[in-house]
Structure 1
Amino acid sequence: MERRTFLRAAVAGGGSMAFGFTLWSEALAYPAKTGTSPYGSLRTADANGIQLPSGFTSRVIARSTRTVPGTSFTWHSAPDGGACFTDGTGWIYVSNAEMGSGAGGASAIRFSSTGSITGAYSILSGTNRNCAGGGTPWNTWLSCEEVDLGYVYETDPFGAKPAVRRAAMGRFKHEAAACDPDRKVVYLTEDETDGCFYRFVPTTWGDLSSGTLQVLKEANDVLSWANVPDPDGNPTRTRKQVSGAKIFNGGEGAYYRNGTCFFTTKGDNRVWAYNAVDNTIAIAYDDNLTANPPLTGVDNLTGAAVGDLYVAEDGGNMEICIITPDDVVAPFLRITNQGSSEICGVAFNPVGNRLYFSSQRGTSGSSSGGITYEVTGPFRTSV
């Protein structure tokens, strides 16, 4: 049931990864409303063309078709979804390449404990339009093909193991993946105007080689999950196989914490909150339901340990907006002079003091002009 009031869980506390937040339940009112950012107003654009709040700085860490600074590795074109992984005292940022004709894939940049770049390399190649995806609790990256009958590929951010195609997770126009370790399932979004919201139930948690693909249904305001008879999607596409499947207009990013999977739909500029504990769904944000909406063209999203969501825009005015636990939405940063691009791959490093993202087409408006950034600053640790 799409309730305007929802039991908010999932703020405060937690560890360094997106899978370990402490529950704090408080009855608050969805959807989020336009308000003042906890970080204050945006300053004049810096040397990289990014407007940030006071105390924050940006740097360019990679440019498409150019070597990553300090390495001999050439960064991929059209950077899209991304995530960070712990690497000893440092971390790794992975990024998809949304290129077609077998030119897609994913790459990684390795950082030291001080944030210096120490290496870069490919972790997936030869695939098509790898758009978003998601990290797993066992430290792999799920890279999703946004094409008809696309696959999910499980990749190794550390570059030691070859990527593996996970056919059991279904063939459709995949967008994002979000792991729910509590119910031991992986949620999946579909980038179609009549797309669905899925979950994959592995036979064994931690092993995605086999399992059951399910789709969310709705009947008389009651949600349920139904098995998809033919996850291969051929000849009948997965979204057409189950009567009563709930339709979502252009599924995009997905992010799980504390019993809730947040995901976005670009066709209606919404952020959804699926409460897996109660099996209910709410509209967490809708640009038609607030005055002067700052967030349009919703796309990738991630979260911070304090409960803030960070939602990137595909178009709009090239902002990453914050949605706070008390349901305020406001700009966090804005990229200037890149109106023909989109923001992708928002992800925090494990300790939560650096935010990574890409402008897919940069200043040129071409896939070869992508720019990947890092923002450092006083990200809040309490609310």
Structure 2
Amino acid sequence: MADPVYSRRRVFHDETSTSLTQWETYMHRRKFIHAFTAGAGAVAMAGSLWQAAAADEAGPTASPYGPLLPVDGNSVALPQGFTSRIVARSLQSVGGITWHAAPDGGACFADGAGWVYVSNSELPLVGGVSAIRFNADASINSAYRILDGTNLNCAGGATPWNTWLSCEEIFRGRVYETDPYGLNDAVAHGAMGRFKHEAAACDPDRRVVYLTEDEDDGCLYRYTPAAWGDLSHGRLDVLCGTIDAVYWKEVPDPEPAVLETQTRHQVDEALHFDGGEGCHYSSGVCYFTAKGEHGVWAYNAVTNKLVSIYDGNGTLDGVDNITGTTAGDLYVAEDGGDMEINIITTDGVVAPVVRLDGQSESEITGPAFSPDGTRLYFSSQRGHSGDKAGTDGITYEVTGPFRH
């Protein structure tokens, strides 16, 4: 094993980073760190003001949606004004196909007046990706496969040109670029690295793709394609340095042979994270989770700073897939824990928005909002039975007054 896993517990800063978002956090009992300030450009904060903000303690972190009500008929607990429905079950028919087992990462894509939800299958050898096409009224139009014959397709990420990057969570796994509309064949992009891929997030401002790695000493990578919109060739870098000073360095061999040094151990200065999971980009900031650390990180690409925005002391546990809204809120799904999706608001509130009842042996996967922001899709990978093969997977839709 190369570098020890970098420990991020109780890391505090006296610098201020900035963002082009309206994302603001401040430190309180749930271990928030003031990381980004509102504004259209770079805003500096003096050290004394930083320390004053960091010293503040927040009161009870009530959800902006209110408390969760008792579970509904689908075993889902939601706030007032929200409703759920089941749109697919593993090994049962939906839209003309048999829905896959072990549903995992997902995303939504606009499709005329309707939309498409894609979902990975975290199965060995026959994983792949399925898609459900919805009409404008949210009724199901059809369903179809867009990738077959791949291994443990875990998470991934949507591209600005409306393709889905499906990531294999296996030793020397690949990233497959797929067509959510089912018109074009999937393509593997070896230049994006052969490692235990988890999630991907595209940064259209810098024209790069961030990639997480699900190893107990995994890394955060940045892929820069030779031409934006064509991921077939490019450069793979790894995040290096210390928490106080990060930089990127090229990975010498992104596609190492089986017995060669793997990507996460090729650069001595690389930072390591315990169990890289979800990844989400918004307005200059790449947010990513580390399950082994119960944490959520934020890399500010504008100021080249890395900070922790959540370290596990709160209602959110087993951090996994992550998504966000145009309002700046983050939604983080739990692998285990209380089987919740928690919101992290722009003012530092962490609170459950969804809880699944009687599914403690499962995990919540694939959270994604419909294009209009009114519907949240996600899956319970193993459902009520907890069957390791994922044959009891359930894919849900939650509708409500989401902030967007």
Q: Secondary structure at the match of 2:292?
A: coil
Matched, 1:326 2:347: yes
Identify unmatched segments of 5+ residues in structure 2: 1-7, 24-37
Which residue in the other structure is 2:385 paired with?
364
Which residue in the other structure is 2:133 paired with?
110
Aligned residue among 201, 205, 214 for 2:237: 214
Which residue in the other structure is 1:93 paired with?
117
Q: Secondary structure at the match of 2:191?
A: helix
Which residue in the other structure is 2:192 paired with?
169
Matched, 1:239 2:264: yes
Which residue in the other structure is 1:136 paired with?
159
Matching residue's letter, 1:130: N
Residue 173 of structure 1, CA deviation: 0.2
Matching residue's letter, 2:96: S
Do the aligned residues in 1 keep the contact of 2:365 with 2:381 (CA within 8 Å)? yes
Cα 1:23–1:157 shift into 2, 3 Å? farther
Residue 103 of structure 1, CA deviation: 1.1
For each residue in 1:12-66, what CA deviation from the matched residue of structure 2 results, as whole angstroms up to 9, or x when unmatched? 8xxxxxxxxx965787868997611000000000000000000000000000000
Residue 3 of structure 1, CA deviation: 4.7
Residue 377 of structure 1, CA deviation: 0.8
For each residue in 1:264-323, what CA deviation from the matched residue of structure 2 results, as whole angstroms up to 9, or x when unmatched? 0000100000000111100011114xxxx1000000010011111000000001000000
Aligned residue among 52, 56, 80 for 2:82: 56
Cα 1:271–1:9 shift into 2, 3 Å? farther
Which residue in the other structure is 2:298 paired with?
273
RMSD: 2.0
Structure with the higher strand share, 1 or 2: 1
Do the aligned residues in 2 keep the contact of 1:32 with 1:323 (CA within 8 Å)? no
Q: Secondary structure at the match of 1:142?
A: strand
Do the aligned residues in 1 keep the contact of 2:322 with 2:330 (CA within 8 Å)? yes
**Corresponding pairs, count:** 365
Matching residue's letter, 1:74: T
Cα 1:259–1:23 shift into 2, 3 Å? farther
Distance 1:127 1:164 in 2: 12
Q: Secondary structure at the match of 1:127?
A: coil
Q: Secondary structure at the match of 1:172?
A: coil
Which residue in the other structure is 1:17 paired with?
none
Matching residue's letter, 1:237: Q
TM-score of the superposition, structure 1-length normalised?
0.92
Which residue in the other structure is 1:15 paired with?
none
Matching residue's letter, 1:53: P
Runs of 4+ in 1 over 3 A off after TM superposition: 1-9, 22-34
Distance 1:140 1:32 in 2: 43
Which residue in the other structure is 1:149 paired with?
172
Do the aligned residues in 1 keep the contact of 2:18 with 2:303 (CA within 8 Å)? no
Cα 1:220–1:326 shift into 2, 3 Å? closer
Matching residue's letter, 1:11: Q
Matching residue's letter, 2:345: T
Matched, 1:74 2:95: no
Do the aligned residues in 1 keep the contact of 2:370 with 2:376 (CA within 8 Å)? yes
For each residue in 1:174-220, what CA deviation from the matched residue of structure 2 results, as whole angstroms up to 9, or x when unmatched? 00000000000000000000010000000000000000010001058
Q: Secondary structure at the match of 2:97?
A: coil
For each residue in 1:206-252, what CA deviation from the matched residue of structure 2 results, as whole angstroms up to 9, or x when unmatched? 00000001000105832111110000132110000001101111100
TM-score of the superposition, structure 2-length normalised?
0.87
Do the aligned residues in 2 keep the contact of 1:59 with 1:375 (CA within 8 Å)? yes
Distance 1:161 1:220 in 2: 42
Cα 1:136–1:339 shift into 2, 3 Å? same
Q: Secondary structure at the match of 2:149?
A: strand
Flag the structure with larger Rg.
2
Which residue in the other structure is 2:249 paired with?
226
Matching residue's letter, 1:86: A
Distance 2:130 2:209 in 1: 22
Distance 2:339 2:106 in 1: 17
Do the aligned residues in 2 keep the contact of 1:23 with 1:258 (CA within 8 Å)? no
Distance 1:264 1:192 in 2: 12
Matching residue's letter, 1:184: R
Which residue in the other structure is 1:298 paired with?
319
Identify unmatched segments of 5+ residues in structure 1: 13-21
Distance 2:226 2:198 in 1: 23
Q: Secondary structure at the match of 2:264?
A: helix
Cα 1:322–1:219 shift into 2, 3 Å? closer
Which residue in the other structure is 2:91 paired with?
65
